[in-house]
Each structure stands twice: as structure tokens, then as C-alpha cells.
Amino acid sequence: MQEKLIKLAELLLPNWEVNVQSIEVIQGGQMALVWKFMTDEGPKCLKRIHRPEKKALFSIHAQDYLAKKGMRVPAIIPNRDGHLYTKHGPFLFVVYDWIEGRPFDLTVSTDLQWIMRGLADYHTESIGYTPPPAAPVFSKLGKWPKHYIKRCQQMESWKLIAQKSPDDPFCQLYLNEIDSYISSGRSTLKLLQQSHYPEWVKQCKKQPNLCHQDYGTGNTLLSNDQIWIIDLDTTTFDLPIRDLRKVIIPLMGDTGTWDQELFDLMLASYEERSPLTSEQKNVMYIDMLFPYELYETASERFGRKNDIMPEELMAAFQYEERKKEQLSQFL
């Protein structure tokens, strides 16, 4: 497989004006293909964008916009024809600058502050991006209600699966406890619809910002005392608090409790660069109320068919209770 991937890179790289000295496969899975190759101008990255072409075009041009604006994302190197990508088969391939740096450690408060400030910069600097005509707008603005409804329906449907395994402790625990959390998810939907969310969406559509959607330690690096953001493949237009929730809630879930001091540090670091109004924070608290971590735990078992211990499900139930208790004080 390694030899095949090296040959694929050797086939593709002549599309760019680069003097290739060596090629190394960094990621060779079904989802991501990434090569690091050395040139006389330093290391570069060849990547296969594993997204449908139109969505790939949206993220490629977004990254080019941000890099040219001075945002710390890897600059895209055009091919010999001046295009930002080369198409091979159904996929688009892109060459970037390779960023050397160290990953952040979210157990270290200074690293956590770096991460949150970088996220705020990503949101503010991306305002003004307009995809080219060939790239349809990729947006989740206004789609949260459907997002909630779909997940509540899935949690309901998983009850049918659990009922087929009466001797399975995980399934029995799920059946005993899940109804109140499905009800909580539907209550969160009502709170969202009654909040500032619809008005904020309307405002944001006039001047949208990008959300990374996969922001965290795997897609950020510290290099020369600067934060660099990589892997923009899933970037989309949405309210900035979508990224905040996707960073904060899983981190809290990993600790198994609600750490208010940690939460305050993360939010304060973000607001150093991009303050939120009280109405906007209220929408964020409502979104965080939804039982996302419980949903993900159940999805691992019923959706992805992985072995998950009942203790993990119980921990998810307990975390959702602690989270709800804390967030309810803010609303």
C-alpha cells in the first residue's frame, strides 16, 4: 500500500512546479491521504480532499482566502495551470506549505488559551469570504432545529434495537434511562426556537463567518510562538458558537464532570478576541444543553456497532445531568 501511495504522489506532483527530493506517506487511510515531500524550498504537503467536489471547492477557496488575508493557515500552492487544485479521478488534490510545530496539550492552561484565541481569530478573520461561482455555498446557518430533531429521532429508533437484546446490560440501561434525555432534547429545541437564535442567524447570513467544525488539538499547531490552524476540509458558514460547543463540551465530557473554572477560562480566552453578547451566550448555553455526549456514546454502540461498556453509558448519563444542572443556572 505504501508503494502504491508513493507512486500516486509521483504521478500527481509533476502538476506543480516543485523540485521533489523525497516523498513520505503521513496518512494513508480510506478517509485521508496526506504526503509530506521535501523540496529545495523546504517541506510541502500533498493532500487528497476526501469530500464531494463542490464541498471541497468551498473549503479550498476558503483556505486560500484566509491565507492571503494573513490568517495562519497553510498557504495553497497553485499548480502549473494556476489552479488551486488538481483533479484526479473523483478527487481533488492540493499542495500546501508544510507547517512544522508541536500539538497543543489541553490539560495545560496556556495551551488552552492559545487554542481559544486562535478559534476566535478564525471566526473573525473569515468574515468576508465569498466562495467562487463554481463552489456552492456550504452553510449550516438556521439548520440547528433539524439537527436536534434528527438526533432525537435516532435516539428513539435505537430503543427498537435495544429491545431486541433483553439480556444486554448496555441495552437495558439505555431503555431504562433514555426517555428523559430524549424529552430534554426536545425541550432544548423549544428553547432554541424561542431564543435569539433565529434573529442571529438572520444577521449572520448578511455577513457570515466560517466555522471549522473539527477544531482542536489534531488540527492546530504551535509554531514560532504562533497558532496555526490546519485541515479546513469541513469548514462551513455557521454561528461561531457551533465551534465553541464542539470544543468545550467534549473536553468537559472527557473529564467526566463539569469544570466551571475550565469553562470560564476557555470562554474568557475566546472573548479576548471576539466578545459575545449576553443574548449570544444564551444561545450557546441552550445548544450546550442538548445531550450531545450521550448521543455520541449511544451512536458508537447502535450506529457504529462498536463494543461500548454499560459503565461508559452510565458515565454519559451522569455527565449530562451535571452539565444540565450547571448550564440551567446561566439561562
Question: In whole angstroms, what is the distance from residue 158 CA to residue 138 CA?
Answer: 30
Alpha carbon separation from 201 to 78, 169, 198 (Å, rounded) = 34, 42, 5
Q: Give the mean model confidence (pLDDT) for residues 155-175.
A: 97
Q: Is the pLDDT of residue 6 over 80?
A: yes
Question: In whole angstroms, what is the distance from residue 193 CA to residue 145 CA?
Answer: 8
Per DSSP, the residues of 264-321 read HHHHHHHHTTS---HHHHHHHHHHHHS-HHHHHHHIIIIIS-----HHHHHHHHHHHH
Give the list of residues 6+ apart from residue 261 with CB closer than 8 angstroms, or none.
none
Tell me the HSE value of 31 on the side-chain side, using a 13 A CA sphere: 3
Q: Give the mean model confidence (pLDDT) for residues 305-329.
A: 95
Q: Is the pLDDT of residue 211 over 80?
A: yes
State the pairing for strand pair 91-97/42-49: antiparallel
pLDDT tens digit sequence for 18-51: 999 999 999 987 777 999 999 999 999 999 998 8
Question: In whole angstroms, what is the distance from residue 123 CA to residue 129 CA?
Answer: 11
Q: Give the mean model confidence (pLDDT) for residues 41-65.
A: 94
CB 242 within 8 A of CB 213: yes
Q: Is the pLDDT of residue 73 over 90?
A: yes
Which of 52, 63, 301, 287 lies closest to 170 in space, CA to CA?
A: 301
The pLDDT of residue 255: 81
Third-level CATH fold of 109-328:
Aminoglycoside 3'-phosphotransferase; Chain: A, domain 2 (3.90.1200)
Third-level CATH fold of 2-97:
Phosphorylase Kinase; domain 1 (3.30.200)
Domain parsing of the chain, residue ranges: 2-97, 109-328
Q: Give the mean model confidence (pLDDT) for residues 41-62.
A: 94
